[in-house]
Amino acid sequence: MRLRRRDLFGFGGGLGVAAGLASASHWWHRTRVEPSAVNANASADCAQEAQAGAYGERYMPPDEIRAGHLEACHTPPPRRQTADLLSVTWPVIETSLEVARGQRLNTWAYNGTVPGPVLRATVGERVQVRIDNRTARPHNLHFHGSHDVNADGLERIAPGTSREYAFEAGPFGLHPYHCHVPPYAWHIGRGLYGAFIVDPPGGRPPAHEYVLVLGGFDTDGDGVNDVYAWNGIAGYYARYPLKVPVGERVRLYIVNMVELDPLAGFHLHAQTFDLFRSGTSLTPHEHTDVVTLGPAERAIVEFTLPRRGRYMFHPHQSRMTERGAMGFIVAV
């Protein structure tokens, strides 16, 4: 029987991450291009350019998404003043998400959102997360960072059951969490991921803080991502930019949770930033304007915007930018 990739990646299937990954790689593999082919491609590109407006609209938010919709998603919880015990319960539910105008995806969601909630603890703090699996598939919760190996989140939580993970937060930095039930590209690509901020003792310097988690969505089940989004909705920050005051420190917590693509990144226009890789040092590793991240890699970046204006940000993987992952930070 010939299996279609849609069968492998739809909710009706459940096999074949390797098949999906293999097919996903075609778009960055380029063979040598002869000059005549370059010209032919240029013509095709120009033809597409004429339709650019219509093309771009496919990767904008659905009409009903209003300003403020992602406020809770990009605003991290305040730093905890008492580092004793952080305890949360997250149901995992099945839902359908319109990730871009007219493009829907069946998703799984920790606590009902994609990405899942931003978790924030102070290094050394005890953390308890109870997962209540209300879906028809097994899932689990795996944290990056260091913790007791017995709380690593590899056991499957059967449908209709729950499990509690308990560990000590560390090291300070920025760590992703995600479902670790195979095929991973399916469980992560369908929404089971989020960001875990671990503050150093005493915290970091005051700043306007935002969380940006990049996801890729394979909406047609062919093993190639079709839509990319910061915090789950394509084009949201192009339509509703983040607003920050001129001259004040901005801190972005950036996580790459894109499956099926080998790399993604973050590039800020017109200003450079201090880069803290994984957030595990208080001394910047680099001062730059691009950071490139493999799957599950993350970075904290800090900068101030010296004058009013619209500062664009996007991955420097142009296909991702064009398919929903472009946004703006407006300095006012």
Smallest distance, Cu ion to C-beta of residue 93, A = 12
Smallest distance, Cu ion to C-beta of residue 62, A = 25
Nearer to Cu ion, 59 or 193 (CB): 193
Give the residue from 26, 9, 62, 76 showing the smallest Cα distance to 255: 76
Pair 170, 198: CB distance under 8 Å? yes
Q: Map the footprint of Cu ion across residues 176-195, applying CB under 5 A.
A: 179, 181, 187, 192
C-alpha span between 266 and 222 (Å, rounded): 26
- Phi, psi (rounded to 5 degrees) for 122: -105, 145
Smallest distance, Cu ion to C-beta of residue 168, A = 25
Nearer to Cu ion, 92 or 299 (CB): 92
DSSP 28: G
Smallest distance, Cu ion to C-beta of residue 188, A = 8
Selected range binding Cu ion among 53-61, 111-119, 171-179, 207-215, rule: CB under 5 A: 171-179
Nearer to Cu ion, 95 or 280 (CB): 95
Nearer to Cu ion, 41 or 161 (CB): 161
Smallest distance, Cu ion to C-beta of residue 143, A = 14
Q: Map the footprint of Cu ion across residues 124-153, applying CB under 5 A.
A: 139
Nearer to Cu ion, 181 or 264 (CB): 181
In the shown chain, the binding pattern of residues 231 to 270 toward Cu ion, with x for contact by CB under 5 A and - for none, equals ----------------------------------------
Contacts of 174 (CB under 8 A, 6+ apart): 195, 196, 197, 198, 253, 254, 255, 278, 279, 298, 299, 300
Give the residue from 17, 221, 19, 183 showing the smallest Cα distance to 105: 221
Nearer to Cu ion, 159 or 306 (CB): 159
In the shown chain, the binding pattern of residues 206 to 235 toward Cu ion, with x for contact by CB under 5 A and - for none, equals ------------------------------
Hey, is 108 helix, strand or coil? strand
Smallest distance, Cu ion to C-beta of residue 187, A = 3
Smallest distance, Cu ion to C-beta of residue 14, A = 10
Is 192 buried (19+), middle (13-18) or exposed (0-12) by CB count in 10 A?
buried
Smallest distance, Cu ion to C-beta of residue 107, A = 11
Nearer to Cu ion, 107 or 122 (CB): 107
Helical H segments across the chain, by residue range: 5-9, 17-24, 35-50, 52-57, 71-74, 184-189, 236-239, 318-322
Nearer to Cu ion, 110 or 311 (CB): 110
Residue type, 9: F
C-alpha span between 169 and 173 (Å, rounded): 10
Selected range binding Cu ion among 15-23, 109-117, 143-151, 173-181, rule: CB under 5 A: 173-181
Nearer to Cu ion, 183 or 235 (CB): 183
Q: How many CA atoms lie within 13 A of 185 on its CB side?
A: 26
Pair 185, 21: CB distance under 8 Å? yes
Pair 298, 118: CB distance under 8 Å? no
Smallest distance, Cu ion to C-beta of residue 319, A = 26
Residue numbers at the binding site for Cu ion (CB under 5 A): 139, 179, 181, 187, 192
